[in-house]
Structures are given as structure tokens and as C-alpha cells.
Amino acid sequence: MDPEEEVKRINKVIREYEAILKTSIDVDQRDRVSKEFKELKSYRDKILAVNIISDTEEPSVEYDEILDFPFLKMLMLKNEEKILADKEANAMYLYLIFFENEFLPFLSETKLKLDFKYSMERDGFYHRFQDLLRRMQDFIGEAQRVEEETFRPDVVEEMKKRNFKMKRSLSIEMDKFFKSILNFAEDLLEDIKEDSLKCLNGEETITFDAIEGKRYLEGSIVSDALENLSVLSDEIIKYLNVPNIEIKE
């Protein structure tokens, strides 16, 4: 196969992989596809390094940047309109709304049956999450004012500094919250493997009624939903990449 045809073949496979990353909820499949994508990209770059080929349909830089964050990739494909110009803040918003719509309902006592200690811990997540949403809405309001309104340069500079501090504070609190969620999910997964004394319905299938509507976790068993929650939380923590020195403040 000549180099140009080979590059076209690779690009076709890459587009197929993008579709899988957009729709698949299988964690192992997403990991495998991400690894294969990187290998294909490396192979493609080697071909281009020694051949002059035009119109190769280079994969987007934005896609490469979020390749290691499959949930974020899925959310960005489904929500093309950005709430904020700030790419990182927009990603934080997408993560929070996705968690609110798809995982917070799963944490309810009707979907996830827990012993007393873990029920109390679960209840505390609702208050902490509402505080995160409030902080996010405050940040969005301030950021949009800077983007949409006209102020004197010195005022704009001051507002940008305030927005930066707000985003930094929000990042730290998100990091703390999702580390708590990650530990919570992993504890319950370990319990399900052993004796199921903490999580009482680990093998039940999750269903949602007509009012709740179709959900991301529809049809999953509780243990798989906890695994997805663990993977999502870990991804958010890695995306935020908050240094330990800031967490201790």
C-alpha cells in the first residue's frame, strides 16, 4: 500500500475510534481504544516524516489534549457550545453537571443501599456538592461579566485577578470533593468483593422510572456503577492536577 493510502486508512480508523470514545461506557474498551489511537498516531507521524503527503486530515489538537480524559471527550462532543471561553473552567463545569445529572441520582438511598456509617457519609456529599455548584455559578457570573461587558482596563485587570482566585479555589474544593468520592467508591467496591456489609445491593440492576428519564447508568449493576464513579472521579482529579501544596492551604 502506498504511503498516502496508508495514511487515509489510519485516519479512517481514528475516526472510528473517536466514535467509540464518544459512545462507549465500557472502561476497558475506552482504555484499549485510547492506547491504540496513540500507537496509530505515532505510526502515522513516522509515515509523514519520510513522505510528502497533502490533505492528510490531521486529527485536531484539541482532541489530542483530552485523549487521556475519555469522560471529558464524551462531554465535549455532546456539548459543543461552550459556557465559558476559559477551556479549563468549561471542562470543570461539564464535569460537575454530568455528575449532578448522572451520578448524584445513583447515590440516592433507593439506588444505593448502604449501612448507617456510609449512609451518613453519602448524605454529606449532597451538601458539599451544592456548595461546589454555588461556587461554580458565582465564578461563571463573574467570568461572563468580564467577557461580555466593557470596563476600564484597570477594572478588567482587577476582575481577571479575582476570577483567577475564584477558579483556583473552586479547583481545590473540586479536588477535595472528588477525592472523597473516589475513596468512598473504592471502599464500597472492596466491600462488595468481600462480604457486602457496607453496600447491601452490590449486584442489583439500576433502573430509572419514566419521570427520571433515561440515564447514563441505566441497566448497570450497582458494582459497575461504582466502578464508573471511581473512574470518573479519578479522571477529574487528574484533569484538575491540583498540587498538594495548594490542597494544604
* Cα–Cα dist 71/97, whole Å: 12
Residues with Cβ within 8 Å of 226's Cβ and at least 6 positions away in sequence, in order, are 185, 188, 189, 192, 199, 202
Residue 42's SS3 state is helix
Residue spans of the domains in the chain: they are 1-68, 80-247
* pLDDT band of 126, cuts 50, 70, 90: very high
CA distances, 222 to each of 27, 51, 117, 201 (Å): 15, 51, 18, 7
If you average pLDDT over residues 29-54, what whole number do you get?
Answer: 73
Euclidean distance between the first and the last CA atom of the chain, given in angstroms as a whole number? 58
Q: What is the pTM of this model?
A: 0.72
* Cα–Cα dist 61/64, whole Å: 5
Give the tens place of pLDDT for each residue, 185-228.
Answer: 999 999 999 999 999 999 999 999 888 887 899 999 999 999 99
The single-letter code of the amino acid at 136 is M
